[in-house]
C-alpha cells in the first residue's frame, strides 16, 4: 500500500463522514458544514487521482462559490427553518435507499473488484484538458455556456419578481 | 483501490438519495442533491483514472458547471418560495400557485 493509497482511503473516510453529517445533523448549518467537508475531501481525491485542474475547479466552484451561496441562504432563513426531523417516511425511505444501493452495487461489483488502474499513468496537464475540450468537445462546451446564460437570466428574473409587481408593470 | 473508491462513490450517492427522501427541509434536500452530483463526479474521475483517458475529466468539468447553474436557479426558487410563507416544510408546499 503506497502513500497515495493511504491518503485516498483517508479522503474516502472523510468524505463519507461529511455525507453522514449532511444526513444526520438536525441543524441546517451543520449539514452545510458537512457538505463542505465532503466537497473538499472529494477535491483531494481528484488531486490524488491525477486530475489537478478538476480538483481546483471542484474546490473553487463547489467549496467556494456554491457553498457560500448555500451559506447565505441558510443564514438568511435560519430563524424560520424547521428542525428537519425525520417522520413516518423513515421506513419507506430506508427501504428505497437499500434497494437502490443493491441495484447499483450488484451490476458494478464485478468491475469494482476486477478493475485496475492504468499502471504507467501520466497525470494529464491542464493544457491537454483544454486541448481536449476545445478540439473534441467544442459543441458541448458552447451548450454549457448557453445553459449558464439561461441560468443567469432565470436567477435575475426570479430575484426581481417582487419589484416588478410593485411598479404596476411600468417596468415592462 | 478501485473497489474502495467505487464503494465510496456509491455510498455518497446513497447518502444523498436518503437525504432527499427523508429530510423535509428544502435546503437540506438541495444539499443532498449536491452530494449526489459529487458522487457522480467522483465516479467519472475513477473511470478517467482507470481508463487513462482525459475525456471523463472533461465531462466532470461540464458537470461542475451544470451544478453551479443548478444551484443558482434552485436557490432562487427556494428563496422565492420562502419569502412569502411562514413554514418551509416541503409537505406543505403542494401548490404551484404562488
Q: What is the DSSP string of B37-85?
A: HHHHHHHHHHHHHHH--SHHHHHHHHHHHHHHHHHHHHHHHHHHHHHT-
Residue A172 has pLDDT above 50, yes or no: no
Q: Residue B45, SS3?
A: helix
A28–B82 CB contact, under 8 Å: no
Residue A122: is its pLDDT beyond 80? Answer: no
Q: Closest chain A residue to B72 measured between Cα atoms? A: A155
Please give the ipTM for the structure prediction: 0.89
Q: What is the CA radius of gyration of chain B?
A: 17
B2-92 fold:
Helix Hairpins (1.10.287)
Write down the pTM of the prediction.
0.86
φ/ψ of A25, rounded to 5, equals: -75, 140
Fold classification of A1-100 is 1.20.120
| Contact residues on chain A for B87, CB-CB shorter than 8 A | 80, 82
pLDDT, one tens digit per residue, over A131-165 is 989 999 999 999 999 999 999 898 888 877 655 55
Element (H, E) at A53: helix A52-57
Nearest to A136 by CA among B50, B66, B45, B58: B58
Q: Compute how many other C-beta atoms are within 10 angstroms of the C-beta atom of residue A122.
A: 9
Amino acid at each position: 500500500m503506497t502513500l497515495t493509497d493511504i491518503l485516498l482511503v483517508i479522503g474516502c473516510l472523510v468524505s463519507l463522514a461529511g455525507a453522514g453529517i449532511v444526513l444526520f445533523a438536525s441543524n441546517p448549518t451543520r449539514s452545510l458544514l458537512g457538505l463542505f467537508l465532503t466537497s473538499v475531501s472529494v477535491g483531494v481525491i481528484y488531486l490524488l487521482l491525477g486530475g489537478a485542474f478538476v480538483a481546483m475547479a471542484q474546490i473553487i466552484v463547489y467549496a467556494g462559490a456554491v457553498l457560500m451561496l448555500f451559506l447565505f441562504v441558510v443564514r438568511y432563513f435560519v430563524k424560520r427553518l424547521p428542525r428537519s426531523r425525520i417522520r413516518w417516511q423513515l421506513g419507506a425511505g430506508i427501504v428505497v435507499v437499500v434497494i437502490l444501493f443493491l441495484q447499483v452495487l450488484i451490476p458494478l461489483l464485478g468491475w469494482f473488484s476486477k478493475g485496475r488502474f492504468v499502471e504507467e499513468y501520466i497525470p494529464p496537464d491542464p493544457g491537454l484538458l483544454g486541448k481536449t475540450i476545445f478540439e473534441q468537445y467544442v459543441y458541448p462546451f458552447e451548450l454549457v455556456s448557453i445553459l449558464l446564460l439561461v441560468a443567469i437570466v432565470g436567477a435575475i428574473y426570479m430575484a426581481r419578481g417582487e419589484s416588478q409587481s410593485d411598479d404596476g408593470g411600468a417596468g415592462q | 483501490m478501485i473497489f474502495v473508491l467505487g464503494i465510496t462513490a456509491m455510498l455518497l450517492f446513497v447518502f444523498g438519495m436518503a437525504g432527499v427522501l427523508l429530510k423535509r427541509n428544502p435546503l437540506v434536500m438541495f444539499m443532498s442533491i449536491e452530494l449526489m452530483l459529487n458522487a457522480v463526479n467522483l465516479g467519472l474521475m475513477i473511470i478517467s483514472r482507470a481508463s487513462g483517458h482525459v475525456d471523463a475529466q472533461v465531462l466532470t468539468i461540464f458537470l461542475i458547471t451544470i451544478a453551479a447553474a443548478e444551484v443558482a436557479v434552485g436557490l432562487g426558487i427556494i428563496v422565492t418560495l420562502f419569502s412569502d410563507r411562514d413554514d418551509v416544510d416541503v409537505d406543505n408546499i403542494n401548490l404551484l400557485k404562488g
